[in-house]
Amino acid sequence: KLGVILASAGSAVGLGNIWRFPYETGNHGGAAFILIYLGCILLLGLPIMIAEFLIGRHSQANTARAYQKLAPGTHWRWVGRMGVLAGFLILSYYAVVAGWTLEYILEAATNGFSGKTSGEFITSFQQFSSNPWRPVIWLIAFLLITHFIIVKGVEKGIEKFSKFIMPVLLIMVIGIAIFSLTLKTTLDDGTVRTGLQGLKVYMKPDLTGITVGRFLQITLDAMSQLFFSLSVSMGIMITYGSYVKKDVDLNKAVSQIEIMDTGVAFLAGVMIIPAVFVFSGLDGMSAGPGLMFVSLPKVFKAMGEAGVLVGIVFFLMVSFAAVTSSVSVMEAIVSSMMDKFHVSRKKGTILTTL
Ligand code: PFF
């Protein structure tokens, strides 16, 4: 039971929590987004994940086969196929962002954060991410790591990997979050900005100016975040569900996975948003996909010498978390290809990676 929970949590917890959740929250003005997200978890996340586990456990099959087995001759099989396609499309950009984390391990290790001014953190991220070569090389490196894990077979490796990195990642996120709350700057005009004020921005819903249209937009974005973060509707949980024994209480297992996933996302916000507030004010919150890559290096710089090590270990952990997620998507794609087109594991993986 623990193995399945950890593997599912390994798939769920990744860049979606640490990179995507904070910038989505920042883009939508903080706590209002979090509140709506929590509502979506209860109304959508729990039932969908339980449903996927049930479909997998009942059919004892992967996505490609599960719907066909449960509803032969109907169009339900298209739901399974669309899931595999969605996973494929997501993986193709997930690996790009995961590649960015590899670059930042190197940056941290070569002491790249120490001499930069606030503005330089932004320009260096922009220059790097729009460079025609470097991100592509990291993308290929990340895909190859995922590729070789899939070729070797996932079972043992991934489970052990998840057992080790999940607790370490959690401890790091909590530690950095606490440090972020202690940050403080004094602006030229004498105003003081503290991490605790930033926490208030993060946690206190600001409902001024919320119209029906805006509410619907935030809800839609919260739902996108939810599907992404929980790895649902991509066939992954169906495959994992087929490994769950009949006597396991699915409600409980799924609740545990979702609490873990939402907990890490929330803490990642505490780690990033107060720091953004201290260094860049409210304007910095809507930085979009660069948020983590700009604000965290500033935090590591503020830590002084210890920040070099913390930076290396942090980006290493995030890239590990990204691997446990990318592996689950690629496994769902490859196993469906093996099933459908009768190709070998190796051939299926090569085609997917290409
Ligand atoms: N849930 C993963 C995360 O939050 O990082 C990302 C992910 C994994 C998305 C698998 C989609 C997927 F099929």
Q: Is 87's C-beta closer than 6 angstroms to any atom of ligand 1?
A: yes
For residue 149, how many other CB atoms are within 10 A of its CB? 20
Looking at residue 185, what is its pLDDT?
87
Tokens of 177: 């979050």
Tokens of 322: 């990204």
CA angle 338, 68, 243 (to 5 degrees): 65
Q: How remote is the CA of residue 15 from the centroid of ligand 1, in Å?
A: 7
Q: How remote is the CA of residue 232 from the centroid of ligand 1, in Å?
A: 8
Say if residue 246 is exposed, middle or buried (CB neighbours under 10 Å; 0-12, 13-18, 19+). exposed
Looking at residue 112, what is its pLDDT?
80
Residue of 325, 329, 331 to mutate, ligand 1, most atoms within 8 A of C-beta: 325
Tokens of 4: 């399945």
Say if residue 171 is exposed, middle or buried (CB neighbours under 10 Å; 0-12, 13-18, 19+). exposed
Tokens of 218: 């935030």
Distance CA 250, CA 53 (A): 8
Q: How remote is the CA of residue 265 from the centroid of ligand 1, in Å?
A: 13
Q: How remote is the CA of residue 31 from the centroid of ligand 1, in Å?
A: 23
Q: Report, as ranges of residue numbers, the positions in the chain whose pLDDT lies below 50.
A: none
Task: Give the count of alpha carbons within 13 A of 31, CB side only.
Answer: 12
Q: How remote is the CA of residue 22 from the centroid of ligand 1, in Å?
A: 15
Residue of 8, 11, 352 to mutate, ligand 1, most atoms within 8 A of C-beta: 11
Tokens of 40: 């979506």
Q: How remote is the CA of residue 325 from the centroid of ligand 1, in Å?
A: 5
Task: Give the count of alpha carbons within 13 A of 330, CB side only.
Answer: 35
Q: Is 11's C-beta closer than 6 angstroms to any atom of ligand 1?
A: yes
Question: Is the CB of residue 158 less than 8 Å from the CB of residue 327?
Answer: yes
Looking at residue 15, what is its pLDDT?
94
Looking at residue 170, what is its pLDDT?
87
Residue nearest to atom 7 of ligand 1 (CA): 231
Give percent above pLDDT 70 in the chain: 98
Distance CA 182, CA 90 (A): 36
- Ligand 1 atom closest to the CA of 16, numbered from 1: 4
Short-list 40, 168, 145, 24, CA closest to 91: 145
pTM reported for the whole predicted model: 0.91
Cα–Cα separations (whole angstroms), residue 187 to 190, 197, 220, 277, 294? 5, 15, 37, 12, 19
Q: Is 146's C-beta closer than 6 angstroms to any atom of ligand 1?
A: no
Q: How remote is the CA of residue 185 from the centroid of ligand 1, in Å?
A: 35
Q: Is 12's C-beta closer than 6 angstroms to any atom of ligand 1?
A: yes
Distance CA 329, CA 62 (A): 12
Show the beta-strand stretches assigned E in the chain.
184-186, 192-194
The DSSP bridge partners found for residue 96 are none
Q: Is 101's C-beta closer than 6 angstroms to any atom of ligand 1?
A: no
One-letter amino acid for residue 121 of the chain: F
Q: Is 99's C-beta closer than 6 angstroms to any atom of ligand 1?
A: no
Looking at residue 154, what is its pLDDT?
63
Tokens of 309: 């090590």
Looking at residue 153, what is its pLDDT?
72
Question: Is the CB of residue 303 less than 8 Å from the CB of residue 312?
Answer: no
Tens of pLDDT, residue by residue over 212-260, are: 998 999 999 999 999 999 999 988 899 888 888 888 899 999 999 999 9
Short-list 140, 94, 209, 130, CA closest to 353: 140
Residue of 15, 84, 146, 228 to mutate, ligand 1, most atoms within 8 A of C-beta: 228
Distance CA 259, CA 221 (A): 20
Tokens of 133: 């070569």
Looking at residue 1, what is its pLDDT?
66
- Ligand 1 atom closest to the CA of 321, numbered from 1: 5
